[in-house]
Structure 1
């Protein structure tokens, strides 16, 4: 059986009220269930984090520390073989072997599925175990001559693999007791940078010189330590910062920084590892490494191991949410039952009144206003003064809204009527004066004058012609036909020249080959005016140095005229808005922006023309005008492939 949305949607007011009141109850129940599940999940996460810390994170951290010590001893032995260095190296290897065994045991005994924590974690653990098994081969290389640099690289690679395992495991180490695991991992990398410095200087002091490669690695390690250590400490929880601050404020750390600066300043060679430069280095660096390791344990794995899954930090907020959620559900049920019944009847009446106003009375009144008929607001929406609760006041407010809408529409209709009449009066007066001005200019142009004066007269003539067109635009917007007209068909070439002559800079318009076709006399005035508006718009919104191209072509369904400019163009939204104004059935006389588009709208509607703006290939805008076949006189064959609105 198929269940549709209509079947599930409540249809009656009573059903909607019940659904509305049940929504907060269901939401509270969902929140309550979420709080319970979250509490259980938090307990499980805390337990799992403790398991991960005990079985994997702690052994891996110990393995990294042991490898760092062995790397330093191995590089010292490789640089300067000796019995004392060999004893230290042997002890370090024993410690590393024990740590490697702990890592393998932790990986095998872990109850956490590594693949669930991180998809790449099993491969990282396998790689680290392979590194641990390969320590014997690596140690054989320590005795080879000049193997210090290779030993450094191999040990550092294993340590980086251990950090990769720690990074995959830190996703589970998110208990409230521990600082952000990624911050602790950055601190581990900062400690590794100090350990690298110690190993590099051990090799250099043993060999009596610091090679160029060792010096570069030392400088890089110093930069890494300084870039990671202090910013990471600032991101720790306040409870875990004092341990690190104690290391940074100690004399050993100052000695370490001083030696770093001396070695960096000395550059590679023998002076960098001389006894004077490295005074106090071994003790200070070892003390700093030990202090950082202890502080990391307290901030990360140590804090996680001490977290109590059933303590207040774990259960406090979730437990309160569970209790309050249950109380909220019960109270919501009680209030819903008491209030719901009283709302149903009042909402039914209010709904019926609102539907009557919105669906019948107000639309009918608006249609009469748009048709120019008067509306009695008091009869359409009698004002009711109801005293009661909020629902009764909403009913009164609906009536007030209806009255306000009718009043605004009535005032707007009166305003538009007045504006239209004002347009006609101003336009008629302007036309009389402009015709007289044009006649006078024509007389002056016929008299013998200096060419410069004649040119100025022509410019004034152009301006007067534009003013006459603007006056005619006012008549067109008011719905009245302008006074100019022709009885006989006029050649298209003459129509285009007349349209170009009505703009301020006709010289910027380049007219291409024009078909031998004529336009019916009754449509000539409107076509000239429409084309003049579009040509002037193209010239106004393109650089003065560019041309406006005017083309005409015969199509199967009429005559296509294109006005193309080289301006900055219009985006899709602006183009769509302009086309909407050109093609709309209604013209808003109160919209003062782009009045020329409204004039084009009226002219196109009156003559049955089609006008469309679209982007041009050169980045500007192309205005396309299609004159229907019935408005032209032509015996020429038409083109087959052209169509209006396409390119």
Structure 2
């Protein structure tokens, strides 16, 4: 009898080893897959708490950059609009800081995103000194470029949230990030043109900067679009083929050619510029918002699919 139990125990032990190994492998696979699912599931929280508030803050900073550039270049008249915009951005910055410090967000944020937020908030700390420079004798070029530096400090936030453990979601998220960069290049171009109009100076340095900005955005915007789903790319082609974009491109081409001089000599007509630029800016803002919302939903759907597979795997594992 003892010998029979001894043999049975040996057989049980022999069977237990592969079973334990199989369970261990299954648990490892589940833990890895669960991490992916949770990462995708948290995409909406990250978007709500940081990505979209950061984008809204940057947009208000872009407006302040443009208004302040005109204010300085035009002899510091009509300060009311600048002061009003400063009050708006102060509220945006306050909300951004509060949302970024939210415990729920901090619990799921990656180290890269936390570092990007720190970089952004450090850059924002320079805003009061920049405003003093604008009010007290700073040159338009220096003021405008300093605003661009603060805005650039927030770029890392969007970039830090593009890396998901799902290739399709990651690629589209990268496209959203590139769209944001492209919109800021448009905004920089707008500030440069309105500066030239306000000062009636179209200097060699302004012309060189304008050429660089137009070249960059014409390069990276189409690239960003290639990272988007096919149906979304078709939506962008409609924007690109629209009357507003065509009109803006024509104005840009005119400004690329003339030698430096006065804004008037270069053919800068601020009313015509606003009529072309503003609709394009709104179209791109709306388009980016749609793509961002789609990307967050795609992450959610991918997460749901993983959780479903985990549930099926769990039921199967229990039944073995």
TM (norm. structure 1) is 0.43
Q: Which has the higher contact order (CA 8 A, sep 6+)?
A: 2
Contact 1:79 1:146 in 2 (8 A): no
Query: Per-residue CA shift, 1:389-443, capped at 9, x if unaligned?
Result: xxxxxxxxxxxxxxxxxxxxxxxxxxxxxxxxxxxxxxxxxxxxxxxxxxxxxxx
Q: Which stretch shows the higher mean deviation, 126-135 or 91-100?
A: 126-135
Q: Which residue of 2 aligns with 1:111?
A: 104
Aligned counterpart for 1:66 among listed residues 60, 64, 85: 60
Q: Does 1:95 align with 2:84?
A: no
Contact 1:179 1:237 in 2 (8 A): no
Q: Does 1:323 align with 2:312?
A: yes
For the aligned residue pairs, the C-alpha RMSD in angstroms reads 3.5
Contact 2:174 2:224 in 1 (8 A): no
Contact 1:205 1:273 in 2 (8 A): no
Q: Does 1:223 align with 2:210?
A: no
Query: Per-residue CA shift, 1:218-274, capped at 9, x if unaligned?
Result: 111111101100121011123433443332122111122111111110132215765
Structure 2 unaligned residues grouped into runs of 5+? 1-10
The structure with the greater share of residues assigned to strand is: 1
Contact 1:29 1:325 in 2 (8 A): no
Instruction: Map 1:106-505; keep pairs closer than 5 Å.
Output: 106-113=99-106, 117-118=110-111, 121-145=113-137, 147-171=139-163, 180-270=172-262, 274-275=266-267, 280-300=272-292, 302-303=293-294, 305-306=296-297, 309=300, 313-316=302-305, 319-320=308-309, 323=312, 327=316
Q: Distance in 1 between matches of 2:165 and 2:183?
A: 20
Structure 1 unaligned residues grouped into runs of 5+? 1-14, 334-647
What is the Cα deviation at residue 328 of structure 1? 8.7
Q: Which residue of 1 aligns with 2:31?
A: 37
Q: Distance in 2 between matches of 1:94 and 1:240?
A: 36
Q: Which stretch shows the higher mean deviation, 237-246 or 44-53?
A: 237-246
Q: Which residue of 2 aligns with 1:51?
A: 45
Q: Secondary structure at the match of 1:280?
A: helix
Given the superposition, is the C-alpha separation of residues 33 and 257 from structure 1 closer, same or farther in structure 2, using an over 3 Å criterion? same
Matched length: 309
Contact 1:29 1:326 in 2 (8 A): no
Query: Per-residue CA shift, 1:360-380, capped at 9, x if unaligned?
Result: xxxxxxxxxxxxxxxxxxxxx
Q: Secondary structure at the match of 1:111?
A: helix
Query: Per-residue CA shift, 1:186-217, capped at 9, x if unaligned?
Result: 22111111111100111111111112221111
Given the superposition, is the C-alpha separation of residues 30 and 176 from structure 1 closer, same or farther in structure 2, using an over 3 Å criterion? farther
Q: Secondary structure at the match of 1:180?
A: helix
Q: Does 1:75 align with 2:64?
A: no
Q: Distance in 2 between matches of 1:259 and 1:177?
A: 36
The structure with the greater share of residues assigned to helix is: 2
Larger CA Rg, structure 1 vs 2: 1
